[in-house]
Amino acid sequence: MTQPAPHPRPTAETWALARADFLSGLSAAVVAERHGISERQIRRRAAKEGWRRSDFEPMGMAPTPAWMKPPPTAAEERANDDALEEVDEAEAAARFGLLFEPKPRSLRRYAFRRASESAAMDRPQVAVSWMRLVQLIDRCGERIDEEAHPYREADYVRAAYLRRLNEQYGEDGDPDLNPDTAPTG
Query: What are the domain boundaries of the chain?
Result: 12-49
Buried b (16+ CB within 10 A) or exposed e, 1-22: eeeeeeeeebeeeebebbbebb
CB 111, CB 137: distance < 8 Å: yes
Question: What amino acid is encoded at 96 in this protein?
Answer: F
Entry pTM: 0.36
Q: What is the pLDDT along the chain (185 residues), one digit of tens a residue?
A: 566 666 578 889 999 999 999 988 888 999 999 999 999 999 999 989 988 877 766 666 777 788 878 888 878 888 888 888 888 888 888 777 777 777 778 888 888 988 998 998 888 999 999 999 888 888 886 776 666 666 677 877 888 888 888 888 765 555 554 455 444 44
